[in-house]
Structures are given as structure tokens and as C-alpha cells.
Structure 1
Amino acid sequence: MSTESHPRQKVAIVTDSAIGLGPALSTRLRSGGGFVSISLPLMVGDQIFTEEDDPSLKERLVIASAEGRRMTTSRPSPGAFAAAYESLASEGYEHIVSIHLSSELSGTVDAARASARGAKASVSVIDSRTVAMAQGMAVVAALDVARSGGSPAEVEAAAGEAARCARLLFYVPTLDALARSGRIPKSLAMVGQMFQIQPIATVQKGRLKYVERPRQEAAAVKRLGELVVADARQALAEDEASRGEDGRVVVAIQDFYGSALANRLADLVTLELGSRAIVVRSEVPPVLAIHAGLGPVSAVCEPAGLVPELSSTSS
């Protein structure tokens, strides 16, 4: 009886700009083929912009924020997904794993599913239930398995495990932008301003959740550092449990005009964990900065064995 195995499907990855990979890493991932990131539209007043079409978008958002203009985000059109799926199918990819930010925060997953039904290649749409580089870790893990010849099920499993293991924390220096975008009640922002609350938050089960609400910037910054180091140690312990002495942790730090705090976090992680910590830097993507305002900083800790593509990346 023949034991010849079935040929592996060629698998591609699609994601969205809510991950904020940064130019260098994005270029590196695209260079291997089978990877597309779709820009999420942003609205400033009644004008629509995307990062892809407007290189000066970051500066535009800063000016709009200073002017107090209304800013919001929108899901990509089904046509944007259809074009991406069509392009990958024409390149010979038989299956596409499409990984997106939490459906609790955006309708992007719904747009992807609508387009998946008419795609020439088979498409699996994954709701990462998270955002920023926590979502990015899922994307990087999936892409590595796909390029290693993994099956669609193996690629999906890698994405799911990386998303579950990613520990996300972010610091928002003011609640004003969250209130303007409707993410929190305006009354809560007023109370926050009154008591100088500097929240530390995460995304849990797809939704924004406050971890702690320190008062005063100094206390918040100190506490954020403690929490990030604790998360990094836990992720390192998990990696050591699976890989022994080779265990390491990837710590992805993102900021939007909050580089002083981001630098401080990076230095602290390196001081505490030395070469066992791989620090990756990029910006908080504009589609998230719209809701968080100026100065937000996020940190994501992930066992390095789950994201080998990042294990050789440092800042």
C-alpha cells in the first residue's frame, strides 16, 4: 500500500495595520512573499486617510489632536480584502490565514469574512481578540509556520497560541482621546483629569480592560515598569520550560510621541534580563493612536520560541 503523503498547501498570511510592525520589520516580512497588511482607514473631520497613501499621517494626527478635531477609524472595505485575496491566489497560494484585531474593537473581521466567501483561495479568518504587537506576535508566528511548509491548521494553531501567550500592557497619559472616540464615557475622562489618573490597561477577551489606575505620572510610569518586567519574567519562564537554557523573551515596545518612556522601559527590561530579552521597537499605529491620544506606550511580552522571526531582531 502506498504511503505517499498528500502535498502541502501553500499558505499566505493577511493582516491589518493595527499591529504596527514598523517599516523595517514590515519590509522584512514582505520580502519573503505570501504576506499582506491592509491599511485601516482613518477619518479626520470628513476626510479619509490611510498610512499607505499618506506618509505624513502621523504629523497630520498630531495637528488634528491639538486642534481638537474629531478623529475616528473605519473598517477596510470588503474590496480591499478581495483584492488582497485575489492577488495571493494569483501567486499560487491555495489557502490564506487572515488575522485581525479584536472584533470587539473594530468591524475589520466582519469585512474580511465577507470577502473570504468569494475568494478563489480558501480563507480562514481569525479574530486575534487583541491588538497592536500582541496581534503582531500572532501574525509573525503564523507566517513562520506557513513559510516552513505548515498546513493551514498548523498555521492557525501557531497564531492562536502566540495570541494567547502575548502579554499586553499599555499606558495612556490622558483619557481625553478615549472619551472623544467614544471608547470611554466623557464623565470618566473628567474624573480622570480631576484626580490625575494615569491608567495602565490591557485587552482581555477582546475588550479594553484597566489593570490599574495609578494617580500622578511618576507613580504610573514606575508601576508600568514593574508590570512589564514581571510579564517579561513570566514569558521567559515559559520559554525556558519548553526550550531549556535557550529560553528567551521578546519584548515589543511601541509608542506614539512617548519615546522617553519607551526608552526607559527598554533600558529597564535589558537591565533586569540582560541578553535573554530581545527588545523590538516600533510605533503605536495611527489607527490606535487616534483613540489613545499623544504619548501612549505599549509593551508586549512573548516567549521567543513562539516567534523565531523576532528572536534575532533587536533595537
Structure 2
Amino acid sequence: MAKSSIAIVTDSTADIPLTVVEDLKITVVPAILIIEGRSYIDGEEITREEFYRLLPTLSEPATTAIPPSAAFEKEYRKLFDLGFERILSIHVASQLSGMINSASQAAQAFIDRVHIFDSRQLTMALGFQVMEAAAASLRGESFESVLEILHSTRERVRLIALIDTLEYLKRSGRISWLRASLGDLLQMKLLVSILNGVIERVGIARTKRKGISQLLAHVKTWGPLERLAVLHSAIPDEAALMAENTRHLSTNPPLIVDVTTVIGTHVGPKAIGFAGLCK
């Protein structure tokens, strides 16, 4: 019989560090990256370093795909076979991806034993929700209590990022307001946030230095933080310095997360940002 009766599942866009995934017994279903017609399993078949080295040289833009419902059904079945009674499957915002649709389709095979939860977030703003739910599950909390903690966490997470180049967001075509104002923004650094699953523009800067200043100012408005993560795409030294400079804002030491290639496809290299969990 499993130690906990509730299994926690997410997808690889949660960006949770592998050590945390293992410690909290989280199951991660990987998204799919498509590079020049070839499919790669996110986080397994191509390293992030390789991906960002390739990205500027590609003859056609890299794209992403959601895992098929069969991939979710396989993981759900494994967990039930291990003795879990319920599964809480927590995923990237439904406004940004079809991940929830795929998971929901798989859940139908198990009647009401799998509960699908829309995080309304991305990267570690999703990851923190998953971590809090997994920790509660390991403590032996009831399903209702874990779900209550999850709802509370969703209300308290924050996410903001500074995009170094808009080229990759433009290629993705994911943001309607960006298409309308692209001519005015091409030479700018763009500050974006996610609120209830919607990507919003919260600032622009002519230089990265000014953009970083705006980024830090926004993070400081979040108030006392329980958790903080510095998010980056292939700029580990800058991220480490940022973590050191913001250590005092959070009860727990900041995590440094090189965002998954599936997110990197849309934001491009040299992006940096924060995810936080407010107290």
C-alpha cells in the first residue's frame, strides 16, 4: 500500500527541480518539443544547453506539442496499481496550452478518481502549487484538505519575467496584443506577468539594465514570500546573482531554475524572471 493515498501528477512545464520531484514523490508527464520535424521528449532527449545553442540556427521555428492522453492514462494507471486511491493532476494554464484537455480525456477512464486542476499559471508558479499539494499529501492530509491548500496556493503565487528578445514570442503567435503592437516593441525588453492564465504586459524598457530594475521593483511589491524562484533561459550566472540579491525576500532560499525547453521555445534565450509564493 502506498504511503499516501493521494498521488500528485503534473507536466514538465512546472519546471520543478528533479531533486524536489523525487523528494515529494511527484509524477511528471513530459511535454513534447519539435525541432525541424523531429520530436523530442521534454527534459529527456535534448539538454537545455543543446537546445539554446541550436535555437538561433534553426531554419524553421521550434514548436511544442502536448503529450497524448494515452501518456497521462499510462501514468494514472501506474499510480493506481501502486495503491493510490486518488490522483490530483495539476497542470499549466488552460488558456496557454491544451495540456488540461489531454489530461481530462485520460481521467475519464477512471471515473471520479482523478481530479484535474487548472493552475492558471506556468513554470514555477505552477510548480509551487504542485509542491504544496505534494507536501500536504505526504503529511497524510485528506483529499479535501489537499485541494483546499491547492486553491489557497493558486491565489498566492506570482510570476513575472523580462523577455530579452521578442522574436520567439512573435513566432509563437500566442499573444494577440503582441501582434498588434509589435512594431513599437521590437527593440524593447518586455516585462510580462501571468494573471489567471492570461499573459499581460506590465512594462517595457530600452535596456536590459532598466528592465532588471523594473523586474526587481515588481517583485518587492509581492510582500513577504514563503518561496521564491529565479527563472532563466540559459543565463545561469545572471540568475545566480539575482538569487543572491533577492535572498532576503523569501523565508526559503530562492531556487534557480533554467526553464524547460518547451517554455524556452516561446521566450527565447536570455530571459529572466521570478516566481513567488506569498505568505
Normalising by structure 1, what TM-score? Answer: 0.81
> How far apart are 1:55 and its partner, in Å?
4.1
Aligned: 1:192 with 2:167: no
SS of residue paired to 2:213? helix
> How far apart are 1:68 and its partner, in Å?
4.7
Please, which moves more after superposition, 36-45 or 20-29?
20-29
Q: Which residue of 2 aligns with 1:293?
A: 268
User: How many Å separate the matches in 2 of 1:259 and 1:92?
Assistant: 40
Q: Which residue of 1 aligns with 2:169?
A: 178
Instruction: Please give the per-residue CA displacement for 1:145-204, whole angstroms capped at 9, x wherever unaligned.
Output: 1111122221112122112101111111011000111124556444322xx311111111
User: How many Å separate the matches in 1 of 2:125 and 2:87?
Assistant: 20
User: How many Å separate the matches in 2 of 1:121 and 1:95?
Assistant: 9
Amino acid at match of 1:191: D
8 Å CA contact retained: 2:33, 2:40:
yes
8 Å CA contact retained: 2:129, 2:150:
yes
> How far apart are 1:121 and its partner, in Å?
7.3
User: How many Å separate the matches in 1 of 2:198 and 2:34?
Assistant: 22
Bigger proportion of residues as strand: 2
Within 5 A, what are the aligned runs for 1:1-315?
10-30=5-25, 35-56=26-47, 58-119=49-110, 122-184=113-175, 185-186=178-179, 188-193=181-186, 196-231=187-222, 234-236=223-225, 249-270=226-247, 272-273=248-249, 276=251, 278-303=253-278
User: How many Å separate the matches in 2 of 1:168 and 1:149?
Assistant: 29
Gaps of 5+ in 2: none
Root mean square deviation, CA, Å:
2.1
User: How many Å separate the matches in 2 of 1:276 and 1:56?
Assistant: 31
> How far apart are 1:225 and its partner, in Å?
1.6
> How far apart are 1:60 and its partner, in Å?
3.1
User: How many Å separate the matches in 1 of 2:208 and 2:198?
Assistant: 24
User: How many Å separate the matches in 2 of 1:288 and 1:49?
Assistant: 14
Instruction: Please give the per-residue CA displacement for 1:258-277, whole angstroms capped at 9, x wherever unaligned.
Output: 2243233212213x54x845
User: How many Å separate the matches in 2 of 1:61 and 1:78?
Assistant: 29
Please, which moves more after superposition, 133-142 or 46-55?
46-55
Please, which moves more after superposition, 77-86 or 217-226?
217-226
User: How many Å separate the matches in 2 of 1:115 and 1:251?
Assistant: 32
Please, which moves more after superposition, 172-181 or 152-161?
152-161
8 Å CA contact retained: 1:128, 1:135:
yes
SS of residue paired to 1:130? coil
Amino acid at match of 1:29: L
**Per the alignment, do residues 282 and 130 of structure 1 end up closer, same or farther by CA in structure 2, a change over 3 Å counting?**
same
User: How many Å separate the matches in 2 of 1:128 and 1:200?
Assistant: 21
> How far apart are 1:17 and its partner, in Å?
0.3
Amino acid at match of 1:131: L
User: How many Å separate the matches in 2 of 1:68 and 1:260?
Assistant: 29
8 Å CA contact retained: 1:181, 1:291:
yes
Amino acid at match of 1:46: G
User: How many Å separate the matches in 1 of 2:88 and 2:188?
Assistant: 40
Amino acid at match of 2:69: P
> How far apart are 1:298 and its partner, in Å?
2.2
Aligned length in residues: 275
Gaps of 5+ in 1: 1-7, 237-248, 305-315
8 Å CA contact retained: 2:14, 2:125:
yes
User: How many Å separate the matches in 2 of 1:57 and 1:257?
Assistant: 8
Task: Give the percent of matched residue pairs that are identical in Structure 1 and Structure 2.
Answer: 24
Amino acid at match of 1:164: E
Instruction: Please give the per-residue CA displacement for 1:74-111, whole angstroms capped at 9, x wherever unaligned.
Output: 11100000001000000010100000000000000001
Bigger Rg, which one = 1
